[in-house]
Structure formats: C-alpha cells, structure tokens
C-alpha cells in the first residue's frame, strides 16, 4: 500500500534529497546556458538556493508539514541567488503558503500546493516568459490537477507530474528562439526537475537522508559584503550567527533581544518564525551575545568569524562590558554595488560606493548577502546597483526584507552601467530624482564584452566552436574569432558609431596591460572622434568589458 499523505518528516527528506540531486547535476544545468560562454550559472544558483532551504529543514524536527515548509521558504528566500534562484524561492514560498494550516497533506492538497507554487512564482516576475522554469512549474501544476483525480498514492502522483513536466521541458526548446537556436532546453526547468526527481527517488526508498557535504561546499558568501573592508575600519570584529530554538517568540522578547544586541554591536539581523529565531550580529564580545541568547532557548548553527583575519578562530570570550556600542548618526544616503573584479572594487570605492559585494558572473550574491550589505551601510536610504541582470531580482528581494531603511534598487545590468549610474549621482537631489538621474545615465551606455566559447553551437547566425573568442554587444554575439585582439577590434568596430564620444576599456585578470594598451591605440587611431580610457577591471572569464558612451 502506497503512501497516502506527507507530513513534516517526509517533506524534510524530500527537500534534502532534491537538493542533493540538483547539487550532483548542477554543472549539467549550468552547461545549458543559451550562450556558449563560461558563466552559465543557473544550476549553481538554484543549487545554492535549495541547499539554503534544505539546511533549514535539516534542523527543524517538527512533524507538521506547515512548520517544515515555512522554514524552507524562509531559508530559500534568504539564500536565493540569481533570477533562477529567486524564482525557485518563490515556488517554495507558494507551496509553503498553501500548506500553512496543515499537519500533513494528501494528493488533493498537494495538487493545490503545486497550483499556488506556480502562481506565486509567476507573480514574482515582472514580465513572465514561456519556455522557462515558469512554464515547467505551470506544467507541474496542471499535471497535478489531473493526477489527484486518478490516484491517492503520493508516489504515483509525483511520477505522473514529473513525466508531464519532462515532456514540457523538451518543448521549451521550441518556445524561445534563443533556446531553439542553441539547441538546448531551459536550464531552470531542468534544475527544477532534478529537484523533483531527487524527491521522488527518496520517496520510493523511504529512508532518511542527510545533506551532502559536497553540496554544502559552495563558494563562501556569508562575509562577501565585508570582503573589501579595511581591517582598521572594522569596529566590531566578530561576525556572530546562530539560531535560537524558540517556538513562537513573542514580540516583546524579540525587542528586548534587539535592544541588547544593538548595545553590544551593529549589523544586526534578527528574523523569527514559528520555530526559531535567526540572529546575525557584529560584536566585539560574542560571549555576551551568546549568554543573552541562551536565556531564550537552546542554540544551533553557531558560527563566529573573526572578520579582522577572515577565518574561523577558537574564541577566548571576554565578558567585560564595552562602550563601543555608541554608533554614529546615519547619513542620508549610502550605496552598495556588486563588483566583478578587484580593479572594479577600487573604481566603485573611488566614485562613492560604501559597500562592494564581490559577485557578477558565476558568483551571484544571495539575497542574504545583499541584505547583510544593506545592514552594513549606516544610511537612511540605500541605493543598490546589481550590475548584472541575473542579480536584479535578488536585490529587489533584499530591498523588501530590509528593515528601518529605504532601499532603492537601480536596474543596472553591467558594471559599466553601474559606474555610469554613480557618476550621475547628485546629492542635492531627492531620492526619486537621484533614481531617475542614475537610470538616465545608464541609457547612454553600451556594454561590450569579450570571452570564450565553452561548446560548439550556432547562435545569432554565427557558427561557434569551443575555444573561439566571442565578442558580445549587450545580449547579442557580434564577433567570433580565433584570436582575442582580433575579436575585440571587430566587436568595437561593430559598436562604435558617429554618436559615440567616450570608450572605456576595462581589462580582465588574464590580460596583460600591454595588450590592453594596444587595443586602446587601435580605438584612438580608428575612431579619432572618441576619447579613450583604459582601466584594470580584474574580472575573471571576460578578457575585456568595454563601455561605449
């Protein structure tokens, strides 16, 4: 007799098994990137997102599906990376809302959860496109409606849903011209199916499962917002994080904790749900923080980083009071920027950015990373520059979660756009006027990039072979050559017109300055009407990022 219902214990297993399955196959999903460039990271982003959910599930021992799904939704949202990760977090959030009053669910309620999951994800995307992960999620919902009328067996139900979704995934190739030209299915949809298939496999086995250590070995991002802070600027040296295992913490208890923690440090994040309280704070005395927290409940997931030397230490706790708690009055405005390399880090600092988050291609910061950076900036209004189209959604999610600050996300899709936006900042303007001015500055920027192909394909009418050098203008391939300099020159020729005035060349970590200088000389010779600048960007994977104004 098959399983007729799912409770919290079963959902915990399914989430963890799904995370493990995607983790094993994330590189395959990454390889489905439409463009044959080395920054396909859909699988990585989705894997890190579902792992964040699975970590929360792993420490929640409730038998109620409502409890486990709730912490999964919270974990996925805070850990969401890239557009695919944010959409996945919304799928989990929709599922959680649907079962919020349930101890366990049968196929009818599971079907409704699939409906709510897809609807929530569609609402989260400004302009939903078919042929994406949304289409696959919608297919799951439709298949679930049919399956629940045919069987009350959870395993049979999921088998039917996955079979239908698999068929829909194959059709995505014909739904979007870019997918058809590249000859691939949608990467996000493929990632979602790996999660569902991992869950089904565990359902059949019926055994407990642990989150695989390989899956947890993701790029360390917890302190990415601090990566460019000078040692002498760190006022509170220990980044202290943990969970207090306290069910239904009362508002007055949380306020008391918040007041005490702020008296002992800064950068406080205190998030509560029905099962626990998540604490993140920077302090010079983590021992006192822990002592206070223990009065509320048992602790789990304790992590203390010495930010001054940026690695874990054995802490000799001090219990002496300090008067370092006095914090400066917040300034009117602050700025956060995602940066793609060490050279860009310095450029952003020089144009007035307060916090630089290491990120960009292949290393999209999570919602939580951005939220922590927002918390670091002591300002009433914080402007966030994602500088990558795949980081905008995570930035917007962080803005919604931020407390006690007005957060404005500027939709910059490239690092040159971010730099231009900062150069258009005028502190005499209102916040709305600043946003308008920054966005106006972006409109005059054309971003070019040079990288290499990781597979054979035909795209934008061009035959591309693995190892070829690719020049891209915006989202289109404009140049394909077997030599970097030639590719770069042809790309620039295709992009510069009589209206161009300034060309700025940012060379990457794998480019010699002398080679970049030769590209600069080429532009000066070929386009005498343009002013040409050259800077070290230090970006990986991309030989050149070029701004044309």
Asked whether residue 318 is domain-assigned, the answer is no
pLDDT of the residue at 180: 83
Q: Whole-angstrom Cα distance, residue 364 to residue 519?
A: 29
Same domain? For 261 and 393 the reply is: no
Q: Whole-angstrom Cα distance, residue 536 to residue 265?
A: 36
For residue 488, the number of C-alpha atoms closer than 13 Å in the C-beta half-sphere is 27
Where would I find the beta strands (DSSP E) of 87-235? 104-105
Q: What is the CATH number of the domain that holds 67?
A: 1.25.40.340
Residue with tokens 């991992």: 198
Q: What is the CATH number of the domain that holds 264?
A: 3.30.70.980
Same domain? For 248 and 140 the reply is: no
Asked whether residue 222 is domain-assigned, the answer is no
Burial code (b: 16+ CB inside 10 Å, e: under 16) for 45-62 equals bbbbbbbbbbbbbbebeb
pLDDT of the residue at 458: 84
**How would you write the pLDDT of the chain (549 residues) with one tens digit per residue?**
589 999 999 999 999 999 999 999 998 898 887 666 665 688 988 999 999 999 999 999 999 999 999 999 999 988 888 888 889 999 999 999 999 999 999 999 999 999 999 999 998 876 788 999 999 999 999 999 999 999 999 999 999 999 999 999 999 999 988 888 777 899 999 999 999 999 999 999 999 999 985 433 333 333 233 333 344 445 677 778 787 888 888 888 888 888 898 888 876 666 665 667 777 777 888 888 888 888 898 887 677 766 554 333 333 444 344 444 335 788 999 999 999 888 999 999 988 999 999 876 667 898 999 999 999 999 999 999 999 999 999 999 999 999 889 999 999 999 999 999 998 888 889 999 999 999 988 888 999 999 998 888 888 788 899 899 999 997 789 999 999 999 999 999 999 998 899 999 999 988 999 999 999 999 999 999 999 999 999 988 899 999 999
Q: How many domains does the chain have?
A: 4
CA 475 distance to own-chain centroid: 20
Q: Whole-angstrom Cα distance, residue 229 to residue 209?
A: 39
Q: Whole-angstrom Cα distance, residue 346 to residue 348?
A: 5
Same domain? For 255 and 178 the reply is: no
Same domain? For 37 and 71 the reply is: yes
Element (H, E) at 459: strand 457-459
Same domain? For 56 and 138 the reply is: yes
- For residue 465, count other CB atoms closer than 10 A to its CB: 12
Same domain? For 465 and 506 the reply is: yes
Q: Whole-angstrom Cα distance, residue 334 to residue 318?
A: 33
Asked whether residue 322 is domain-assigned, the answer is no
Task: Work out the burial of residue 287: count CB atoms within 10 Å of its CB; fewer than 13 is exposed, 13-18 middle, 19 or more buried.
Answer: middle
Domain encompassing residue 490: 447-548
Residue spans of alpha helices (H) in 496-537 = 513-526
Same domain? For 59 and 207 the reply is: yes
Closest residue by Cα to residue 133 from 75, 64, 200, 49: 49
- For residue 277, count other CB atoms closer than 10 A to its CB: 21
Same domain? For 361 and 456 the reply is: no
Asked whether residue 325 is domain-assigned, the answer is no
Asked whether residue 364 is domain-assigned, the answer is yes
For residue 505, the number of C-alpha atoms closer than 13 Å in the C-beta half-sphere is 28
Same domain? For 179 and 99 the reply is: yes
Closest residue by Cα to residue 84 from 49, 126, 56: 49
Same domain? For 421 and 473 the reply is: no
């Amino acid at each position: 007799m098959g399983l007729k219902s799912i409770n919290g214990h079963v959902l915990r297993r399914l989430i963890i098994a799904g995370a493990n399955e995607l983790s094993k196959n994330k590189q395959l999903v990454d390889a489905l990137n439409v463009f044959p460039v080395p920054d396909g990271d859909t699988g990585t982003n989705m894997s890190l997102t579902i792992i964040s959910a699975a970590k929360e599930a792993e420490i929640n021992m409730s038998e109620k599906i409502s409890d486990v799904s709730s912490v999964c939704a919270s974990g996925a949202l805070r850990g969401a990376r890239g557009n695919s990760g944010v959409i996945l977090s919304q799928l989990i959030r929709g599922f959680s809302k649907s079962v919020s009053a349930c101890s366990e669910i049968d196929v009818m309620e599971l079907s409704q959860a699939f409906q709510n999951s897809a609807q929530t994800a569609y609402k989260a995307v400004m302009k939903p496109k078919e042929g994406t992960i949304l289409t696959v999620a919608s297919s799951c919902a439709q298949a679930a409606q049919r399956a629940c009328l045919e069987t009350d067996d959870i395993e049979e139900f999921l088998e039917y849903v996955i079979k239908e979704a698999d068929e829909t995934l194959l059709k995505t190739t014909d739904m979007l011209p870019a997918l058809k030209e590249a000859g691939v299915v949608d990467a996000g949809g493929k990632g979602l199916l790996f999660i569902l298939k991992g869950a089904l496999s565990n359902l059949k086995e019926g055994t407990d499962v642990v989150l695989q250590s390989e899956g947890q070995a993701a790029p360390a991002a917890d302190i990415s917002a601090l990566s460019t802070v000078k040692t002498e600027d760190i006022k509170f040296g220990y980044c202290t994080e943990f969970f207090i295992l306290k069910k239904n913490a009362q508002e007055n208890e949380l306020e008391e904790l918040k007041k005490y923690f702020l008296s002992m440090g800064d950068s406080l994040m205190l998030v509560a749900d029905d099962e626990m309280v998540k604490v993140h704070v920077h302090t010079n005395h983590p021992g006192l923080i822990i002592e206070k927290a223990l009065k509320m409940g048992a602790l789990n997931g304790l992590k203390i980083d010495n930010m001054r030397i940026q690695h874990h230490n054995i802490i000799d706790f001090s219990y002496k009071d300090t008067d370092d708690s006095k914090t400066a009055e917040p300034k009117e405005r602050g700025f956060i920027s995602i940066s793609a390399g060490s050279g860009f880090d310095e450029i952003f600092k020089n144009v007035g950015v307060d916090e630089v988050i290491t990120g960009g291609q292949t290393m999209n910061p999570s919602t939580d990373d951005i939220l922590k950076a927002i918390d670091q900036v002591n300002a009433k209004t914080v402007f966030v520059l994602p500088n990558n189209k795949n980081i905008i959604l995570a930035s917007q999610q962080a803005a919604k979660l931020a407390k006690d600050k007005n957060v404005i996300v500027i939709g910059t899709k490239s690092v040159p756009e971010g730099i231009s936006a900062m150069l258009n900042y005028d502190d005499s303007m209102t916040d709305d006027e600043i946003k308008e001015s920054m966005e106006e500055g972006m409109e005059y920027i054309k971003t070019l990039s040079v990288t290499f192909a990781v597979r054979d394909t035909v795209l934008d009418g061009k035959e591309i072979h693995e190892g070829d050098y690719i020049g891209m203008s915006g989202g289109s391939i404009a140049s394909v050559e077997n030599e970097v300099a030639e590719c770069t020159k042809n790309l620039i020729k295709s992009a510069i017109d009589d209206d161009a005035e300034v060309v700025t060349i940012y060379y990457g970590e794998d480019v010699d300055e002398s080679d970049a200088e030769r590209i600069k000389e080429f532009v000066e010779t070929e386009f005498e009407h343009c002013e040409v600048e050259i800077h070290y960007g230090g970006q990986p994977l991309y030989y050149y990022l070029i701004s044309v104004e």
